Amino acid sequence: MKTAAATAVAHPNIALIKYWGKSDERLMIPYVDSLSMTLNILPTVTTVALDSGVRTDQVTLDGSPAKGDFRQRVVTFLDLLRAMAGRDDRAVVDTRNVVPTGAGLASSASGFAALAVAGAAAYGLDLDPTALSRLARRGSASASRSIFGGFAICHAGQGGGEAADQSAFAEPVPVTGLDPALVIALVNAGPKAVSSREAMRRTVATSPLYQSWAASSKIDLAEMRAALHHGDLAVVGEIAERNALRMHATMLAARPAVRYLSADTVTVLDSVLRLRADGIAAYATMDAGPNVKVLCHRADAGRVADAVRAAVPDCSVLTAGPGPAAVLRTEAGR
């Protein structure tokens, strides 16, 4: 018998300053701070229902029983919720993604942000946004940022253990005078061959470029925050693009190399360079996958999307703006 239930909606975020690698995989503590923009498209809707009639947690993903690593991650997260709430109720979890799962479009960010909000409500936990971001981080470090709308920073945390857990959280970043868009080129919406977790471990352990990338990322973050404060999209884009390219170069130097970028990725990157040569402020960023996100002024989004389609006619193109915070469905008015 169901005793409590809650449904939450969360949106993916795209990191403009990336984190890559974790100092503590159990607590999901990133090595470096990250900064992102939450999108207004591709939501995840998750329902958590406590049910005294089931002996084990039931998890479905997009209408089918969840299996393997994803199911285990959700059950581990539910165990955390039960420990926090002092309860032992099993749960029925239904998650539906508009985001292609595992394609480098932040499905884990929206997924675990939605699970954190719905799960906390179902288990009777009264958590403020900072505490929710800490909770969401335990499922996916990037999920901490999807608790917030607009632009958000996730702090990597200081020290180890409990100190790191308490200091690794997300918070909003103030932005002045920006009207940005992200044009997303889905050159391949399928799951990636190497998971983000495995790629991070490999890069941290074997890439000779990793420490220098982490150091440069701290500089990028400080400069990005200043550019956002001044509303300078060109500088924001320049920093985001170099941060992403350096991250992928660091992965290529791992043993064995991790290569997410495809020939179509490079074709889209070339189209972005042509747009800039024509005077359009357009800047690319890529996560753990071949898909390209192009940051631009909202007024230029149509022209950027047309250029991407012309470069790779078979790819799907989406356009997003800054999106909302994760909320319970009743709060979202849905």
What is the full DSSP assignment across 56-81? S-EEEETTEE--HHHHHHHHHHHHHH
- Asked if residues 297 and 181 have their Cβ atoms less than 8 Å apart, the reply is yes
- Asked if residues 173 and 35 have their Cβ atoms less than 8 Å apart, the reply is yes
pLDDT number for residue 102: 52
> Which portions of the chain are predicted below pLDDT 50?
332-334
pLDDT number for residue 270: 99
DSSP alpha helix (H) spans, 86-188:
107-122, 129-137, 143-146, 161-167
- Asked if residues 152 and 35 have their Cβ atoms less than 8 Å apart, the reply is yes
Domains of the chain (ranges; CATH) run 2-174+323-332 (3.30.230.10), 180-320 (3.30.70.890)
Amino acid symbol at 142: S
pLDDT number for residue 333: 44
Residue 158 to residue 138: CA distance in whole angstroms = 16
| pLDDT tens digits along 199-258 | 999 999 999 999 999 999 999 999 999 999 999 999 999 999 999 999 999 999 999 999
Q: Among 180, 188, 160, 230, which residue's Cα sits nearest to residue 315?
A: 188
Structure tokens at 205: 């352990």
Cβ neighbours of residue 233 under 8 Å, at least 6 residues apart? 178, 180, 281, 295, 296, 297
Residue 302 to residue 327: CA distance in whole angstroms = 30
- Asked if residues 64 and 52 have their Cβ atoms less than 8 Å apart, the reply is no
